[in-house]
Every structure is written in structure tokens, then in C-alpha cells.
Amino acid sequence: MSLRADLRHGLRIARAEFVRSVRGYARDRRRLLGLAVAVLFFGGNLLFSLPTAYLLGRTVRSADAIPFLGPAATALPFLLVALAALRTLERIGRPEAEELLLSTVHPRAAVIGLICAEIARLAIWFGLPIAAVVAAFALGLGSATFPLTVAVVVLPLVCWAAVWGYALGIGFLRLFRWLPALGRAAKIGGFLGMLALVLASQSIGRLVADGSFSVRGALDAVTIGPLTEYVAVAFLGTPLSRSLSPVGPGILLLFVALTPLGTAVAARSAKTLWFTDASKPERATRSKTSSGGFAAPRPFAATKPGRIAWGHLVRAVRHPQEFSHLVMIVFFLGPVGTTFVQSSGDALGALAAATGVGLATYLAGATFGLNPLGDDRPQLSLVLLSGTTPRTLVRGRVTAGVAVSAPVAALVPAAALGLGAAPELAGAFAAVGLPMCVAASLFSVGLGASYPIYEEREFWGAETVVPSTLVMVAYLFVVGGGTVIGLLATWFVASGRLTATPLVAGGLSVYVLTTAGVSYGSYRYAVRRYRRYAFD
């Protein structure tokens, strides 16, 4: 009776959570725009993947001939469990409005509801495109039953992965509560792991190309035979069907049997997490104090924007989680990493110096400039009525960005001398790096002010206001592109490869004027947004 009630309550919670998610996706114009971009992206992929799946269905003569079927069958359960665990750690480890739910229904019902809602969300984002690909393949194969057998294989797998991934995620949350230092280490480890993965993914192509690494051999080594047998169940009744080993159906039964067990484990673990407290207070045991008042050091003390910048820097040091969005740079390090691996001699030093300047221009705007109004929102009623002009407020942010980036722009090229960079080149990069940082910082405040984000959300384990992804991508595109052009021009000039002709002078003038003009215009726009800001 109680199980039936918990199931009923769980499904009701799942329905409500799913409806809330759908309404959240379409809550405002910004989200609708993001959704449209995602649909266009995935929809665009389908334009290629659907005909490919159809042709594959028409031409393939045995399941073994389907490329990477075995490795995919092996990877899928692990990926799904990892995804579910990650989502639990980041988003669904606790229900929203938990006082309501936990004083109304049994925790097991809440767990069932959260997991079912997650499966429904997964079905919307991934299930629909995958179903379309499967349908195209079935059409090519000429098998009407294939989508059904795929469902028979996929559904138990997804349910199993969802509940055990949830249990794993809750287990991690309990562990991190017990050992908070481990949680912090895991975040750093995750970041480094992601960095390593990006770099490795860039390097592996070269190893494959020169024949020193065999993809087929590596995949064969990690393929787990029984999981391939399990996936082979999906081909029953199709022209690709082969003699069925008992292993496949056995694994299917195992997934089915382990799902309620995983639910029980997850519910028990979640109950412990939700109703008990950390053995030590989660807040720091040492009280945080400051002495000496607010005294900005030189050179910040000399001007009001400088003192405002110092305030930004002090808060950044005390609450570095606010800058979790900066990890986005990792995805752009891959190509640089590959180039590093392939470089030697003078090229390595020059590349290191250029990378330093590129990193500096990224930090100049991305640290403080990509969501100025959103970041300042809690204090806007104070600062806008403080008598400080909007121009000073914006300059404070710009100065903070330059303060963070200028040392990187100057010191990395200097350090690159040790890697063999020519002194004149390192000096030239550092010299152009500083004005580039100023330009990037000025550009960022206008770009960020054009699309402010006010809602806090959990990002990388910290509750913070993250700049819009569109703004971050636009910033990377514009500033990254501008920096590359500027550095290439500097390299040509410093290495004497550029002859002074009217065309070159004109091109350089256009570049400098465009950079300066766009940056200044962006800065003026930010000032205007602050001046005209109104609470809606």
C-alpha cells in the first residue's frame, strides 16, 4: 500500500517537475532564443544524421558491420550513469521547496519523482532525436519492429542508469558533506580532468594520423562482450538478427531487477542526506574577519575608479566561486595545446608568449565585464543613489579587468623568453598585449550590459549569477578573433616579415581604429545602460 502510494505521489511529483521545467525553458524571450539556437543546432545535425542512418540501414548486412557498435554498447551504460550522477550532484540532489515535499510525502516518493522527471527531461533532449535516427535506420532496414526492440533494450538501461546514477550522486553528496575538503579537491580534479581530456582529444588525432595509435585496437580492448550481446537484442526480428545468446536477455533481466533495488538504495541514501546535518557545521569554523577598514593600496587608491576596482578585486579573492564561468576557456585551449605539442624551438617560445596575451585579453573582459548589471544588481539601489557617476562605476569594472589581465599580458611573454622566444618578439607581444587588454575590458562591459542575467543558479557547485552563454561565446569570438589578428600582425612586424606599404598601413589602421572604436562605443553603451537603469 505504501509503495503504491509512493509510486503515485512520485509520478505526480515527476509530472509537476517536468511541467515546471518546460515552463522554465520558455519563461522569457532570452530562454526561447537559447532554445531556438539549440533546436537549430541539433536540427541541423539531424539533416546529416538522418540520411546517413537511412543509408546505413539500406546497406548494412550484419550487426557486426555497424561501425563502433561494440564500443558504443560498452560506453553507453557508463556514460548514462555518469550523466545521472553529475546531474544529481549539480541539480537534483535536493528537491526544490523541500520543506513542502518532505513534510507532505515520503522521501521515497520524492526520489521517484525526481528521477522520473529527469528521465522525462532526458527523453525530450536526447530521446526525440535518437528516436528519429532509429526510425530512419529502421526505414532503411525495412524493419517495422526495430524501433520497438530498441525501446525494449534502451528503456531498462536508462531506468537502471538513472536510479544508480542518482544513488551514486547522492553518495558523493554525503561524502562531500562528511569531507568538505574532498569536495573542493574533486572540483579542482574535475577541472584538471576536463582540461586533460580536451588536450588529449586534440592530440589523439595526430597520433592516429601517424599510425602510432590504433583506434580499432583501443576500442576492441575496452569493449565488454556481454554488453554488445545485450545491444544485439535490439536486432531481433530484423534482417540483422543473429543467433541469440542467453547473455543478452540475461543482462536485460539484470537491468530490470536492479532498478527497484537502485531506487531503494537511492531513497535510503537520500533520506539520510536530507534529514541529517553535517557532523561539522558546513560554514567555516573559523570566523572570517577583516581589519584595517577599506583602504585601497597604490595605484588603486589614487582614483575613484581605482578604489572601486580594488573593491571588485577584494571581493573576487574572498569569493572566487563567482568566477566559475571562466572555466569556459578550457574548451578553447585544445587547439593551442595541440600546437604546443607540435611546436619546437623558437616557435614554442613565440606561441607561449602569444598564448599569454590571448589569455590576458580573455581575462580582461570575462572576469568582471560580461554581466556588469547582473553582478551589481543586489547593490544597484545603493550605488545608483550614491552620487558616483555611472561612468566611474563602469570605469571601476574596466580597471579591475585590466588589473587582473595586465600582469598576465606582461609576465607570460617575459617568461616565454625561457622557452626560446626572441626578446624583441616577447617585448612586442607584451607591448601590444596591454592596450589589447584595455580594449577587451572596455568591449566586455558594453556587451555584458546589453544582455544582463539576474537569476542566480548553481554553477560548478557555487550559487552564482553566470553571464549569458551567448554573451560569453560572442565575447570569445570577437576578442579571440581580434587578438589573433593583432598578434599575427605584431609577429609579422617584429620579425621583419612585413614591408611597409600603403596597403599594410591601411590594413593596420583599419584594425586599430575598429578595435578602438568598437571598444569605446561599447564602453559608452555600458555607461548609458547604467545611467538609464530602471528596476522593472
Applying CB under 8 A, the residues found at the interface with other proteins are 2, 5, 9, 12-13, 16, 19-20, 23-24, 27, 96-107, 275-281, 285
Q: Which is nearer to other proteins, 115 or 154 (CB)?
A: 115
Burial class (CB in 10 A: 0-12, 13-18, 19+), 495: middle
Burial class (CB in 10 A: 0-12, 13-18, 19+), 425: buried
CA dist 490 and 487 (Å) reads 5
Location of C-alpha cell 590576458 = 360
Q: Taking the complex as a whole, how short is the minimal distance between the CB of residue 272 and other proteins, in angstroms?
A: 10
Q: Measured between alpha carbons, how far is residue 29 from residues 18, 32, 344, 438 in Å?
A: 20, 5, 49, 32
Q: Taking the complex as a whole, how short is the minimal distance between the CB of residue 122 and other proteins, in angstroms?
A: 19
Q: Where are the alpha helices (DSSP H) in 276-344?
A: 304-318, 330-342
Q: Taking the complex as a whole, how short is the minimal distance between the CB of residue 7 and other proteins, in angstroms?
A: 13
Q: Which is nearer to other proteins, 271 or 304 (CB)?
A: 271
Q: Which is nearer to other proteins, 16 or 484 (CB)?
A: 16
Q: Taking the complex as a whole, how short is the minimal distance between the CB of residue 182 and other proteins, in angstroms?
A: 17
Q: Calculate the dihedral angle through the C-alpha atoms of 481, 487, 491, 493, rounding to the nearest 10 degrees.
A: 100
Q: Which is nearer to other proteins, 98 or 463 (CB)?
A: 98
> What's the 3-state SS for 59-121?
HCCCHHHCCCHHHHHHHHHHHHHHHHHHHHHHHHCCCCCHHHHHCCCCHHHHHHHHHHHHHHH
Q: Taking the complex as a whole, how short is the minimal distance between the CB of residue 325 and other proteins, in angstroms?
A: 24
Q: Taking the complex as a whole, how short is the minimal distance between the CB of residue 164 and other proteins, in angstroms?
A: 25
Q: Taking the complex as a whole, how short is the minimal distance between the CB of residue 478 and other proteins, in angstroms?
A: 34
What cell does 402 get? 585590466
Q: Which is nearer to other proteins, 210 or 277 (CB)?
A: 277
What cell does 306 get? 581605482
Q: Taking the complex as a whole, how short is the minimal distance between the CB of residue 414 and other proteins, in angstroms?
A: 47
Q: Which is nearer to other proteins, 211 or 281 (CB)?
A: 281
Assess contact for 336 and 391: CB atoms under 8 A.
no
Question: Running DSSP on this structure, what letter comes out for residue 395?
Answer: H
Q: Which is nearer to other proteins, 14 or 445 (CB)?
A: 14
Residue type present at position 464: T
Q: Taking the complex as a whole, how short is the minimal distance between the CB of residue 98 and other proteins, in angstroms?
A: 7
Q: Taking the complex as a whole, how short is the minimal distance between the CB of residue 169 and other proteins, in angstroms?
A: 21
Q: Which is nearer to other proteins, 5 or 37 (CB)?
A: 5
Residue type present at position 36: A
What cell does 197 get? 581530456
Q: Which is nearer to other proteins, 28 or 210 (CB)?
A: 28
Q: Which is nearer to other proteins, 275 or 535 (CB)?
A: 275
Q: Which is nearer to other proteins, 9 or 529 (CB)?
A: 9
CA dist 90 and 85 (Å) reads 9
Assess contact for 159 and 84: CB atoms under 8 A.
no
Assess contact for 372 and 397: CB atoms under 8 A.
yes
Q: Calculate the dihedral angle through the C-alpha atoms of 16, 21, 23, 26, rounding to the nearest 10 degrees.
A: -170
CA dist 394 and 410 (Å) reads 24
Question: Cβ neighbours of residue 240 under 8 Å, at least 6 residues apart?
Answer: 60, 61, 62, 63, 141
Q: Taking the complex as a whole, how short is the minimal distance between the CB of residue 292 and other proteins, in angstroms?
A: 27
Please, what is the angle between helix 146-178 and helix 69-87, to 10°? 40
Question: Running DSSP on this structure, what letter comes out for residue 143?
Answer: -
Q: Which is nearer to other proteins, 27 or 242 (CB)?
A: 27
Q: Taking the complex as a whole, how short is the minimal distance between the CB of residue 358 and other proteins, in angstroms?
A: 41
